[in-house]
Amino acid sequence: MNVGVVGASGYSGEVLVKLLLGHPQAKLAAVTSRQHAGKAVSALIPALRNTPADQLKFSDSDPAALAARTDIDLWFLALPHGTAAEFARALVPAGRKVIDLSADFRVANLATYERYYGVHHAPELLAVARFVLPELTAAGWSKSIQLAAAPGCYPTSTLVPLMPLLQAGLVSRDHIVVNSFSGVSGAGKKAEEQYLFVERAESAKAYGLTQHRHLAEIEEQLTVAAGAKVVVQFNPHLAPMRRGIATTITVPAASGASLDQLYAAWQAAYAGRPFVAILPKGTTPDTAHVTGSNRVDISAVHDARTGNFILTSALDNLVKGASGQAVQIMNLWCGFTETAGLI
């Protein structure tokens, strides 16, 4: 199957190109970039020198021209929010499958999206789009959509440990506190003072408190899981590392809920899922152990003194938090082995 990547010059776009070039069933036939049109892909991604990327050149990113290409079956949009919607508006009506790595179609409620992101540039597509977190989205999703929204990195690190517990009634939906630390690649390729090496090295800081954009996605999905409104205190931080997400969730245990029941709920939810690793009790995830993988590691402890469960997770923000998860979605959507190109 031929696939294309729109906007491959960013960090997640580079990882996506690398994964697709090694995929056994998908052929990367088009890579676009307005800024780098005409250049060999390996010129922009030197790690791919002396590979087929030498012969693959960036093409211009014109939505109408891409929609007219009948040789591409599926497009990945590795673009900022707002811009991605403009391409989806051309590609979806043309009958192409689209997997969007931006936030444009992650939030189903238009008013919520516009509160966090501003004007939506393709609201008519929300009806045919679906937020897809492969391990948690209800079975059958691949038969009913035209556009898949890949979850963000912070939401993946939060939803994977927390959603099954809300669904099982093992935790409260009140007083949930999420503290997350992200590598600076999560901000993308942009020149801002706070992302300079001398600013971030040996330094960590909170940012986006009370209104981080990923909060919209997290709360909407948790509300669906719980069947009632869920409000989360989300505290993101920048950490002095290039990539990775480490998340700690403090949530009150439901009356009578035990750690054994929590682990049993996780085992039931993730049995046979290759990209969720449930660590033994007393072992906490480490970003160093998931870098470069499409895996999320999770674990939990119970604090008898406070009555809280403390859930921890770690993932690579550029793989399971972005490009790897997008490839995983493609695999399931197109009938490939779920792990194809990812292990």
| Tens of pLDDT, residues 153-196 | 999 999 999 999 999 999 999 999 999 999 987 666 655 666 66
Extract the tokens encoding 25. 């069933």
Same domain, 49 and 133: yes
| Whether residues 29 and 127 fall in one domain | yes
Q: What is the pLDDT of residue 144?
A: 81
Asked if residue 99 and residue 14 are part of one domain, the reply reads yes
Catalytic residues: 153
**C-alpha distances in angstroms, 292 versus 24, 242, 296?**
19, 12, 11
Q: Are residues 145 and 11 in the same domain?
A: yes
Concatenated DSSP letters of 111-171: HHHHHHH-S-S-GGGGGGEEE--TTTSPTTGGGS-SEEEPPPHHHHHHHHHHHHHHHTT-B
pLDDT, position 190: 56
Express each pLDDT in 329-338 by its tens digit: 999 999 999 9
d(CA 297, CA 243): 15
**How many structural domains does the chain have?**
2
Q: Say if 50 falls within a structural domain.
A: yes
Percentage of the chain beyond pLDDT 70 is 96
Residue of 258, 256, 278 whose CA lies nearest to 268: 278
* Shared-domain flag, residues 130 and 231: no
339, part of any domain:
no
- Residue 284 · residue 311 · CB < 8 Å: no
Write the pLDDT tens digit of every residue in 117-155: 999 999 999 999 999 999 999 989 988 899 999 999 999
Show the domain range for 170. Answer: 154-317
Do 158 and 300 share a structural domain? yes
289 in the same domain as 162: yes
Residue 266 within any structural domain of the chain = yes
Residue with tokens 């809300």: 166
Distances (CA, A) of 21 to 96, 283, 285, 337: 20, 35, 30, 16
pLDDT, average across residues 262-285:
97
CATH code assigned at 112: 3.40.50.720
Q: What pLDDT was estimated at residue 25?
A: 97
In terms of domains, do 160 and 298 share one?
A: yes
CA distance 105 to 172: 28
**pLDDT average, residue stretch 256-270:** 98
